[in-house]
Amino acid sequence: MKPGRTVLLALLGCLISGAALAHGEPERNTTRAVYAGKITNIPGKSLKVVEVLYNPGASAGSHTHAKSAFIYAYVLEGEVRSQVAGQPVRVYQVGEYWTEEPGAHHLISENASKTKPARLLATFVVDDEDAPLTVPDRK
């Protein structure tokens, strides 16, 4: 891996996991940057992939994502309860996915189980300079 990409991945992880802490809220899930790179055949766009681990009963809290971000979320483990504004609440199981349009308001993002972990892979197609990827709602 290129040294610059390693730094970018570390910063990406900090931006996402630190977003809740910036608003004085305790961390409720953990994230790990998996990949970040420019989409070479789409000038100005990048692909950023993040693994989100929800401990039993954990929640990400309501939030929005970067204004340019199109998101594809795929459940790897457990069950994830999710709701994007204008859509019904739904529980997604392993192998299921949902998408979020740019600027979507993510109202619910949580582990549906109080006893088992859940894990998803979130793939962002985003403008190169659009950050942070996740902004918690102000309380």
Cα 124 to chain centroid, rounded: 8
Domain span including residue 92: 3-136
Average pLDDT for residues 93-98, to the nearest whole number?
A: 97
pTM recorded for the entire structure: 0.78
Q: Residue 16 is inside which H or E element, if any?
A: helix 3-22
Residues 38-51: pLDDT tens digits? 999 999 999 999 99
Cβ-contact 82, 118 below 8 angstroms: no
Q: DSSP code of 78?
A: S
What residues have CB less than 8 Å from 85, skipping those under 6 apart? 104, 105, 106, 107
pLDDT score at 2: 53
Closest CA to 68 of 39, 46, 83, 36: 46
Q: Give me the phi and psi of 2, to 5 degrees please.
A: -70, 145
Tell me, what CATH number does 46's domain have? 2.60.120.10
Indicate the number of domains in the chain. Answer: 1
DSSP, collapsed to helix, strand or coil, labels residue 64 as: strand
Q: What pLDDT score does 12 carry?
A: 44
* Among 39, 19, 45, 46, CA closest to 31: 19
Residue 138 banded pLDDT, cuts 50, 70, 90 = confident
In the chain, what percentage of residues exceed pLDDT 90?
70
